[in-house]
Chains A and B, each alone.
Chain A
C-alpha cells in the first residue's frame, strides 16, 4: 500500500470530522469531530514520516498532538459543562450570545 492510501484515509477522516463539527446538534459530537480532525493530522504525520525521511519525528509529533488533544478535551469539556449550566442545553446553536 502506498502513501496515497494513508492520505486518502486521513482525508476521509478529516472530511468526516469537518462534517461532524458543522452538522451535529450536540456539542460532544462536535468535540468528537475535532478529535477526528486531529487524528487525521496524526495519520498524515505518521504516514509522511514512514514514506519520507525516516526516523521517528512524525511519531513524536503525533504523540504531542495526542497529548495536546487530551488537554484540549479537558478544557473543552469544562467549557461544555459551563455552557450547559448557562444555557441548559448542549446544542451549539443555543449558545448564540456572540450575535449581539
Chain B
C-alpha cells in the first residue's frame, strides 16, 4: 500500500496536473477543437478521466491516512519552493503576511470534494458526448464544461480566500456561458429563455459576490491575511483577546461572507436564479447543481466556519432551514421534471447550510459530497428521460417509462432513494447527521432555543416533503400509462386549454411576458419535431420513448454506484451499520482535521471530566436515536403519501390541489418571489436607469449642447466678420487694382505690329516735339 502513503512533493505535482489538465483542454478546444475528429470531445473526456483518476487516488490516500490515524493536511506553503508568489511588495519580506502568495491547501475535505468534482465532472463529460450530439456549438460546450471543472478544482485547492474568490468568479462566468448555451441557437426554442436565465443567474449571484468581496476585505482589514490557516488562527486569537466573545465586526463580516454563499448556493432570497438555470442543457444543470457552483457556496462556508460568530451562525441556520422548507414545498407543485430537481437542490442546499449553522460543519459538508453524487445522477437520469422522450420535460406527458428505459429507471430510483433518506443509501447518512445536529442543539440545555427548534422542525418537514416530491416524480415519470407521444396529443391540448401552471414566466427583450412551457410546446410540436436536430435519427417511431445510448447509461451507472455507496464504505473498518462505526466522512473529516488541532479544539472542545464525557455521550446518543427515528419516519411517510396520491388514487391529487386553492397557487407560483423581485428590485432599477437616462439626456446633454450651440453662434459671428471685413478689405484691394489694370490691359494686345505702331507713333511724337519746340 505504499502508493497510498502521504507524499507531499509527489502529490503536489499530481494535484497541479489534475488542476491544469482541464485548463489545457479548454485552451486546445477553444482554438482547434472545431477541426479535431469528433470535434475534440475525446480529448476532454480523456483529460477529465486522468483528472478523475488523480482525484480518486488522492481521496484514497486521505481515507488511508484517516484510518491509520495519520494527519492528512498539507499546505504547499510549508515548503517555500511550492509557493506561487503572485503579488508582494518589496517592503515586506517574501512570504510576509501582507503579500498575496498563493499555494495549494489540501485536507480531507478538499480530498472528498475534489474526488466528487472529478468523478461527477467526468461522468457529465461522458454523458454530454451522447446527450449533446449534433449540437451546433458542441466543441464550445465541452470547452466550457472543462473550464467550469477547472474553476471548481481551483476553488477547492486554493489556500487563500482571495484565490478562492478568483475561481468563484470564473465559475460565475462559466455558469453564465453554459446556462446561456442555447442563447446562440435561434431555432432551439430555448433561445429567449436561455438568454434571460443566463442573465438572471449572473446578476443574482453578483449580488452575493459583492457581499463576499466586502466580507473578505473586512477580514483582511483586521487580520492582514487572506490565507485560511492564518485567518482561523487569527480568529481564535481575536476571540480569546475579546474574553471569549466574538467581536461584533466579525458578525458583520461573517454575514457578508455568508451573503456570497446565499448567492452562489441559492439560498433565500437569492434562490431565484437556480430554477431558471435549467434553461441550459441538462448536463450543465447537473454540473451546476451537483459538483460545482452551488457546492462552492457550501464549501466556502466550510472553509470560513471558524470565522463565523454564533450570531452569524444563527442567521445561517434560519436562512438554511427556511430555504430547505420553502424550496421543498415548491418542489411538490412543479410539473417540469428538471424543475422538481432544481427545487430539490435548493432544498438540499438549505439542509447543508442549516447544518453548518447548527455547528455541525462535518454534517453539512458530508451532505454536500453525497448530494453531489446522487443529484448529478438524478439530473443526468432526467436528461436521459428527456432525451428518450424527445425533449419533452413535462411529467404530465410521461408515465410508464420504467419498462422502456430500465437502466435509467434503476439509476434514478437508486438516487431517489438516496435523496429521500432510505437507510443504506448515501443520502440517509448525511441527512441523518444533519437532523442529529439539530437535535443536539435542541437537547443541549445551553444552546436550546427558538432557532434550534425551528431548524429541527423545518428540516424534518422538508425531509418529509423531499421524500414525497421525489417519489411523486418517480411515480409520474416511470409508472402508470404513457401519456406522451401521439396519444398524448389530446392531453397536451387540454393542458394548453387549462393553462399550464407551474411554468416559468420570463420577460423577453421587449418586456413581454413569455412562458417557457409554451415555447417548448411550439418548438417540439407534432409536425416540426426537434428530435432529428439532436442527432440520433433513424427512428421509425419517433414518438416512442427509448433507452439512451451506452455513453449516457454508463455515466448514470457510475454515478448511481456512488449515490448508493457514497455514504458508507465498509472497505476498511467494517460495515458502519453492523459495527456502529461512523461513516467514512466523519472518520476522515472533523473540526480538528479540518482546521488544525488548536482551532479544532477551540471550535469543538472535548468534554473534560467523567461527568461531562458521560453527559456528552448521553446527549449524542439521544440525539442520534431521535434523528434516526425522525428521518425514518419522515422518509417512509413521504414515500407512502406519494404512493397513495400518485399510484393508488391518482384522482385525489388534483382535488387536493383545487381544495387548497390560493395556497396551492401561491406555492406553485413560487410564493411570487420572482414577481416580488421584479417589483422591488428590477422595476426600481429600470426606473432609476430611465431616470438617469433622462437626466443624462436633459441636463448633461443639455449642458453639452448649450456649450456647443454657444460656440457655434460665436463661430457664425466670427465667420461673418471674416467674410465681410477681412475678406472685404482684401477683395477691395484686388477690385481697385483690377479696375485700373483693365484700362491698361487694353494696350497689351499681344500683337507685334500694334506694338510697332505704338513705337513709331512715339518716335513721331518725339520728332514732332523736338522739331517744333
Residues of A within 8 A of B (CB): 18, 21-23, 30, 92-93, 95-100
A19 to chain B, nearest CB (A): 9
A92: B residues at CB distance < 8 A? 751-753
B750 within 8 A of A: yes
Shortest C-beta distance, A24 to chain B (Å), equals 8
Please name all residues of chain B whose beta carbon is closer than 8 Å to the beta carbon of A96 when the two chains form the complex.
749-751
Q: A22-B757, A23-B753, A95-B750 are in contact. List 17 more A-B contacts (CB 8 A).
A: A18-B760, A21-B756, A22-B756, A30-B753, A92-B751, A92-B753, A93-B751, A95-B752, A96-B749, A96-B751, A98-B748, A98-B752, A99-B748, A99-B749, A99-B750, A99-B751, A100-B750
Point out the residues of chain A lying under 8 angstroms from B750, CB to CB. Answer: 95-100
Give CA–CA (A99, B752) in the complex, Å.
Answer: 10
Residues from chain B with Cβ under 8 Å of A18 in the complex: 760
- Cα–Cα distance between A23 and B537 once the two chains are bound (Å): 108
Docked CA distance A99–B760 (Å): 20
Most buried by A among B748, B750, B757, B760: B750
Q: List 23 A-B contacts (CB under 8 A).
A: A18-B760, A21-B753, A22-B753, A22-B756, A22-B757, A22-B760, A23-B753, A92-B751, A92-B752, A92-B753, A93-B751, A93-B752, A93-B753, A96-B749, A96-B750, A97-B750, A98-B748, A98-B750, A98-B752, A99-B748, A99-B749, A99-B750, A100-B750
Q: Which residues of B have CB within 8 Å of A100? A: 750
Measured between beta carbons, the chain A residues less than 8 angstroms from B752 are: 92-93, 95, 98
Closest to B752 in A: A92
Majority SS at the chain A contact face: helix
Q: Which residue of B lies closest to A30 (CB)?
A: B753
| Complexed CA–CA distance, A95 and B753 (Å) | 10
> In whole Å, how far is A61's beta carbon from the nearest beta carbon of chain B?
21
Cα-based distance from A30 to B748 in the complex (angstroms): 20
Cα(A71)–Cα(B504), bound, Å: 114
Question: Shortest Cβ distance from B367 into chain A, in angstroms?
Answer: 104
Give the distance to chain A from B17, nearest Cβ to Cβ, in Å.
90
Look across to chain A and name the residue whose beta carbon is closest to the beta carbon of B750: A99
Closest residue of chain A to B760 (Cβ to Cβ) is A18
Complex: how many Å from CA A21 to CA B760?
Answer: 10
What's the nearest-Cβ distance from chain B to residue A35, in Å? 15
Cβ-closest chain B residue relative to A99: B750
Report the separation of the CA atoms of residues A18 and B758 in the bound assembly, to the nearest whole angstrom.
12
Which residues from chain A contact B760 at a C-beta distance below 8 Å? 18, 22
Which 8 A-B residue pairs are closest in the complex by CB-CB distance?
A99-B750, A96-B750, A98-B750, A92-B752, A22-B757, A93-B751, A92-B753, A21-B756
**Given the complex of chains A and B, what is the CA–CA distance between A84 and B59 in angstroms?**
111
A95 to B752, CA, bound (A): 8
**A95: B residues at CB distance < 8 A:** 750, 752
The docked-state distance in angstroms from the alpha carbon of A23 to that of B760 is: 13
**How distant is the Cα of A25 from the Cα of B752 in the complex, in angstroms?**
11
How many whole Å from B274's CB to the nearest CB in chain A? 91
Q: How far is it, in angstroms, between the C-alpha of A62 and the C-alpha of B366 when the chains are bound?
A: 139
